Structure 1
Amino acid sequence: MRSVSIFANQPTTHRGQPVHLSVDPKQEQLAYASNRSIFLRNIDNPAFSKQYTQHVAATTVAKFSPSGYYVASADDNGIVRIWDATREESILKNEIKVISGRVNDLSWDEDSKRVIAIGLFLIARLGHAFLFDSGNSVGEIQGHSAVINAVSIRRQRPFRAATVSDDRNIVFYHGVPYRYNTTISVHSNFVHDVRFSPDGETFITVGADAKVFLHNGNTGETITELRSAEGHRGSIFSVSWDPSSKFVATSSADHTTKLTWSFSATPSPTHQQVGNVFAGSQMISLSYDGTINYLDRSSAKPTRNISGHQKSITALGISQDSNTIFSGSYDGRICLWDTAFGSARASNAHTNQVIQVEGNETVVYSVAMDDTFRSMDYSSKSSSVSIQPLGDQPRGLAIAGGITIIITNSKIHILQSGKSVHDLATTFEPSSVAAHPLKAEFAVGATDNSIHVYTLNGTMPSEDLAFTIHRSAVTYISYSPTGTHLAAGESSGRITVYSLPDYKVHTSKWVYHTGRITGIAWNGSGSHAATSSLDTNIFVYSIERPSQNISIKNAHKGGATGVRWIDNTRIVTSGGDAIKIWEVTV
């Protein structure tokens, strides 16, 4: 199997904090931090991304070196990793413990040899200047009394550097080695970002006081405050220069990125602009909700918006025609992905973790930990949503023609046209459910290791069969599309396949997972099943040769949460990091 495309998670954002983005020298890739991964995302085609997964803590920032050969990325533990950006295997060049807390920003010098990293200090230093290959010190970062938010190194000689902090000050350094030169106190509130111009003549600072100051790039002296009649009316989080050093763009909590673009007339934190970067003549701005906005000087509105998930993806589904992928995440967001282009329509449908999502060509169905069932008609731009309270925490759902089957901690709910028509109390705790593709029949897995099979007489369920041969809770079950097999996965990673209609064991040799089974999907002919697990791995098993399998090891950092077949040669998987499409030869 090989990876075809990655629909990357959106950049991680934090309320009231800037996000620092980076583009490569060729202006082709955007680098950013998302959960515990770093993504290098193609700017023209966002469906193609490179993922770096070697950080053990939440990542905070990633920056391309001026040469484009390396990326420096950092995390909450104060670790900076320097790795090869040109090779698929991302070979590690160096790992340095720079500070004791979160790294907020870092900057390369023009030679691609020296790096300054800064952030939240818990013990001793606030930042560190070092050689990228050896980690040897090339200066001292000092002069601040609070968390440092950003750093920038002048690309021309003599080298200069500037840092900004929540202590409302700018500190200017001479280098190399980098030494404290002077403190600049012009802002009246937290200073969020600093950037030297590409020509090195000036640098610019922005902050929570909604002010923009221009400074001399050689001496650090403040030249002027940049003012306009249409200035920002909220905290400014980010600033960047265009390649000509003639224009700057600023992103603010007032929902605008100035040069001058407006994103929403409705006040909402989700539209606050928290980061930006120029990619050639094109500007990329980041919204607080993770939306990546493409901007052009000729348009007052974004020319393109890239949406997706910011939190771990917890549920995955696909339409019957395989043109639309459905996904739900820990924060309640539902995304509808175009299989061909990787673009998503995002909706904050739920207020808590999405448990399961299914759908067809026009409607997507979901249940979540907010104890609701929701159906959304996405066939038009103005999606209509129907909400059905469940009164208990849902554990799964299945669609059988016009009937929706929902299991909760103690009941089986039967819905028709989005309305509850029958509730059946259970003597066991349901944990998974699947509907037979050809008959009015469904199966329910339970936490007591049992499986219960029901027949639907109209909308009335009646139990026909129950058996307990599993060793742990049945966490996922799935009928083959031909209706000849049922696969049941356990919390231990073991999968048992039953032959229908008598539910006799066909094989119990699908045992290569070591963690909870989160997904089982059959190909169109029912000859193979793809499986996902919290052990991070994906397997493709064969009915005819149950002892053989095709594996994708470490497919998703933090665990794989779902799998579906797109066609007979491609599968789509989800996890805490992204949605990925794989090419499979069976």
Structure 2
Amino acid sequence: MSYELKKIFASLPQVERGVSKVLGGDPKGNNFLYTNGKSVIIRNIDNPAIADIYTEHAHQVIVAKYAPSGFYIASGDVSGKIRIWDTTQKEHLLKYEYQPFSGKVKDIAWTEDSKRLAIVGEGREKFGAVILWDTGSSVGEVAGHNKIINSVDIKQTRPYRLVTGSDDNCAAFFEGPPFKFKFTLTGHSRFVNCVRFSPDGNRYASAGADGQIFLYDGKTGEQITALGGEKAHDGGIYAVSWSPDSTQLLSASGDKKVKIWDVGSNSVVTTFNMGSDVMDQQLGCLWQKNHLLSVSLSGYINYLDKNNPNRPLRTIKGHSKSIQSLTVHKSDGRSYIYSGSHDGHINIWDAETGENDDFSGKGHSNLVSRMVVDESSNLVTCSMDDTVRYTSLSKKEYSASDLVKMDVQPKCVAVGPRGYALAVCIGQVVLLKDKKKCFTMDNLGYEPEAGAIHPGGTTVVVGDNAGKVHLYSIQGNTLKEDGKTIEAKGAVTDMAYSNDGAFLAVSDAQKVITVFTVADGYAEKNVFYGHHAKVVCLAWSPDNEHFASGGMDMMVFIWTASDADKRLKMPDAHRLHHVSGLAWLDEHTIVTASHDCSVKQWTVKF
């Protein structure tokens, strides 16, 4: 048995309101970079479905930047650690690791010879450092600020100059190397969020929370002009990015607009209106070759269209918060993956191309804990907002009427034939038929954790936190207790019937999975050991002979129902994060999701 990673559907940038998001671009113009949690995501700019994830930081990563040579990436995290790692090898080998200061790294800049790095942020003793990339020794001092430094850039032509922007409303200008403080620029009346040199080094721009952009001479540091006069934008400006030919500047603002400026004539060439919702605030931008990218507060990445400023060429959607649930569905010969995250967002992925979208309308307002597709092609989801929703996969929009309000929070939802569904809630089990509640059981005498409906549609099983599985039969619109329980090894975390209904697999908090044979009165068939931590999700292969399990130990196992020793171990399926969802696209393809906000497809050979 062997496995291979086939595709990665990457997470979106992790964004925070009022904080600029730095995007990195590679010098060849093929890829762009951003961070989410402990991951650095590298995406192909022409086809963003091609992605790679670097997961070696132990803490949340804030910024990543390519060296001008294109061979290395430097990334910095909240603890003040800088890692410099290889971009050419799949393994991304670590070249150097430094700790220039203790505290959050907010921005990084390289000199054009890829030999020196400037690092700024919120240190305890100092707010910045300039170091040699191969020894970590200092080549100058970043002084002149008394608050957090948000942004740094280095002129890419000699003589070198360095500029910083800070929460003390000032920008500072340095000459070097070794870099020495020359003077402070006090034009802004609010935080300076971004400073960037033009590629030819003749000018640099500073953008602030006061909605102003100032242009300066790149060599002397003297102010030339203010773009747009009094105000460049009606809101705070979070990022600027120069065109490759240094004649134009892209700016992204909290006023939900992105603008292209002609620097020579000090005029706006194009204004992109990104929407009217608070989630349409623009927190980052990047001008890479012919591509203009911006990042919204929703985390969405917009490819801007100069010819149609009111509608992006494409918008990359996905998750910026941890994924909690996952399912798959085939329609018209195409396979789709559905994933639900911590913030209630549900994403639709085309399994083949990685193209993605979401449902229109208002959906869940809180964590989506479980999702399944019923026989009428509805996505049935339960959420911590105390609802169970039915969403038509063909219409792709949330329906206000197909919403079932629960008395208490649902933990798990399962579907069966003839319109039946089962919601397992805190202290309560609810049977639904045709999108309506038809039977509720309270005072159970146990705490239910998970449930499943037999594919034949006659039996319901509910697992509890004491390691027992209770059997009920469906009789019309009621559930009748069978008076029989089966024993698991620990508190039940998930359960799943094989597609043909022959077996029931039960996973538990004691790291064990037990498979029962339905026809033999649920006699124990096999017990499966291998996980190092609680098993959280299960999924049967279409062949009914294999099933997969995912756990808190970041591992996925593929098991053979008839032989507990025939197994395939996939360690570090999602590094640093536990596996939260599993599903089979076909007999040889498994999909996994995790708290790292990404979805992965694996090819499995038996």
Deviation (angstroms), 1:478: 0.6
- Give the 5 Å matches for 1:291-440: 291-300=300-309, 301-321=311-331, 323-346=335-358, 349-360=363-374, 362-380=377-395, 382-385=397-400, 386-401=402-417, 402-425=419-442, 426-440=444-458
Question: Are residues 439 and 350 of structure 1, via their aligned partners in 2, closer, same or farther at CA, if it must alter by over 3 Å?
Answer: closer
Is residue 358–residue 396 contact of structure 2 (8 Å, CA) maintained in 1?
A: no
Q: Secondary structure at the match of 2:279?
A: helix
Distance 1:434 1:345 in 2: 29
- Give the 5 Å matches for 1:203-352: 203-227=204-228, 231-259=232-260, 260-266=270-276, 268-300=277-309, 301-321=311-331, 323-346=335-358, 349-352=363-366
Which is worse superposed, 151-160 or 459-468? 459-468
What amino acid maps onto 1:257 in structure 2?
V
2:602 paired residue among 563, 576, 582: 582
Is residue 105–residue 117 contact of structure 1 (8 Å, CA) maintained in 2?
A: yes
Question: Are residues 457 and 381 of structure 1, via their aligned partners in 2, closer, same or farther at CA, if it must alter by over 3 Å?
Answer: closer
Deviation (angstroms), 1:459: 2.3
- Give the 5 Å matches for 1:502-521: 502-508=521-527, 510-521=528-539
Distance 1:452 1:484 in 2: 18
Deviation (angstroms), 1:185: 0.6
Q: Secondary structure at the match of 1:548?
A: strand
- Give the 5 Å matches for 1:170-185: 170-185=171-186
- Give the 5 Å matches for 1:538-577: 538-556=556-574, 557-577=576-596
Distance 1:229 1:192 in 2: 18
Is residue 363–residue 375 contact of structure 1 (8 Å, CA) maintained in 2?
A: yes
Is residue 170–residue 185 contact of structure 2 (8 Å, CA) maintained in 1?
A: yes
Q: Secondary structure at the match of 1:95?
A: strand
CA deviations 1:239-264 (Å, max 9, x no partner) are 00111111110000011111234344
Give the corresponding residue for 1:476. 494
Deviation (angstroms), 1:311: 0.9
Distance 1:515 1:147 in 2: 40
Question: Are residues 293 and 198 of structure 1, via their aligned partners in 2, closer, same or farther at CA, if it must alter by over 3 Å?
Answer: same
Deviation (angstroms), 1:350: 1.9
Distance 2:102 2:213 in 1: 31
Structure 2 residues not aligned, in runs of 5+: 261-269
Give the corresponding residue for 2:18. 16
CA deviations 1:161-202 (Å, max 9, x no partner) are 100011000001111111111101111111100110000000
What amino acid maps onto 2:307 in structure 1?
S
Is residue 213–residue 232 contact of structure 2 (8 Å, CA) maintained in 1?
A: no
Give the corresponding residue for 1:79. 81
What amino acid maps onto 1:113 in structure 2?
K
Distance 2:506 2:37 in 1: 31
**Percent of aligned positions with the same letter in both sequences?**
35
Which is worse superposed, 364-373 or 271-280? 364-373
CA deviations 1:68-103 (Å, max 9, x no partner) are 111111111111111001111010011111221111
Question: Are residues 400 and 102 of structure 1, via their aligned partners in 2, closer, same or farther at CA, if it must alter by over 3 Å?
Answer: same
Distance 1:230 1:343 in 2: 38
Is residue 263–residue 271 contact of structure 1 (8 Å, CA) maintained in 2?
A: no
Deviation (angstroms), 1:296: 2.8
TM-score w.r.t. the length of structure 1 is 0.97
Is residue 36–residue 320 contact of structure 2 (8 Å, CA) maintained in 1?
A: yes
Distance 1:98 1:570 in 2: 44
Distance 1:523 1:492 in 2: 23
2:489 pairs with 1:487? no
Which is worse superposed, 338-347 or 17-26? 338-347
Distance 1:448 1:314 in 2: 24
Question: Are residues 465 and 44 of structure 1, via their aligned partners in 2, closer, same or farther at CA, if it must alter by over 3 Å?
Answer: farther
- How many residues were matched structurally? 583
Distance 1:230 1:282 in 2: 26
Deviation (angstroms), 1:21: 0.2
Q: Secondary structure at the match of 2:196?
A: strand
Distance 1:545 1:45 in 2: 42
2:114 pairs with 1:112? yes
- Give the 5 Å matches for 1:18-37: 18-37=20-39
Is residue 432–residue 474 contact of structure 1 (8 Å, CA) maintained in 2?
A: yes
Question: Are residues 419 and 226 of structure 1, via their aligned partners in 2, closer, same or farther at CA, if it must alter by over 3 Å?
Answer: same
Which is worse superposed, 566-575 or 127-136? 127-136
Is residue 486–residue 522 contact of structure 2 (8 Å, CA) maintained in 1?
A: no
Distance 1:4 1:436 in 2: 32
Q: Secondary structure at the match of 1:270?
A: helix
What amino acid maps onto 2:577 in structure 1?
G
CA deviations 1:473-520 (Å, max 9, x no partner) are 110101111111111001122111111121111111x21111222211
Q: Secondary structure at the match of 1:584?
A: strand
What amino acid maps onto 1:404 in structure 2?
A
What amino acid maps onto 2:431 in structure 1?
I
What amino acid maps onto 1:287 in structure 2?
S
Is residue 431–residue 475 contact of structure 1 (8 Å, CA) maintained in 2?
A: yes
Distance 1:87 1:238 in 2: 31
Deviation (angstroms), 1:28: 1.7
Which is worse superposed, 218-227 or 315-324? 315-324
What amino acid maps onto 2:510 in structure 1?
S
Which is worse superposed, 233-242 or 257-266? 257-266
Is residue 470–residue 486 contact of structure 2 (8 Å, CA) maintained in 1?
A: no
Is residue 35–residue 62 contact of structure 2 (8 Å, CA) maintained in 1?
A: yes
Distance 2:258 2:274 in 1: 11
Deviation (angstroms), 1:44: 2.3
Is residue 326–residue 358 contact of structure 1 (8 Å, CA) maintained in 2?
A: no
Which is worse superposed, 497-506 or 373-382? 373-382
Distance 1:119 1:44 in 2: 32
Distance 1:466 1:118 in 2: 64
Deviation (angstroms), 1:290: 0.4
TM-score w.r.t. the length of structure 2 is 0.93
Distance 1:25 1:238 in 2: 19
Question: Are residues 294 and 264 of structure 1, via their aligned partners in 2, closer, same or farther at CA, if it must alter by over 3 Å?
Answer: closer
Distance 1:299 1:166 in 2: 35
Question: Are residues 374 and 549 of structure 1, via their aligned partners in 2, closer, same or farther at CA, if it must alter by over 3 Å?
Answer: same
Q: Secondary structure at the match of 1:525?
A: coil
Distance 1:130 1:229 in 2: 37
Deviation (angstroms), 1:443: 1.3
Which is worse superposed, 491-500 or 378-387? 378-387
Distance 1:241 1:493 in 2: 53
Give the corresponding residue for 2:267. none
Structure 1 residues not aligned, in runs of 5+: none
Distance 2:143 2:231 in 1: 36
Q: Secondary structure at the match of 2:136?
A: coil
Is residue 24–residue 30 contact of structure 1 (8 Å, CA) maintained in 2?
A: yes
Is residue 526–residue 562 contact of structure 2 (8 Å, CA) maintained in 1?
A: no
Deviation (angstroms), 1:228: 6.7
Distance 2:103 2:115 in 1: 24
User: RMSD in angstroms over aligned alpha carbons?
Assistant: 1.6
